[in-house]
Amino acid sequence: MIRDPDRTYVPDRRRADRFPGSKFELEILVDKRARQAPDANAGHNVYSIGNLSLAGIYFRSERRRRVGSKFKFRVLFDDEHRNETLPLFSGSAKVLRCEDVNSVEEPYGIAAEIESIRGAANSVPRFPNL
For the chain, which residues make up each domain, given as ranges?
A: 21-32+42-56+68-95+113-124
Nearest to 75, CA basis, from 90, 64, 97, 85: 90
Residue 7: predicted pLDDT: 52
Residue 51: predicted pLDDT: 87
Residue 41: predicted pLDDT: 45
Find the distance separating the first CA and the last CA of the chain, reported in whole Å. Answer: 32
The model's pTM is 0.68
Residue 102: predicted pLDDT: 85
CB–CB of 56/112 below 8 Å?
yes
Grouped pLDDT means (10 residues each) for the chain, 130 residues: 50 55 78 49 72 89 93 87 84 95 89 89 46
Residue 94: predicted pLDDT: 96
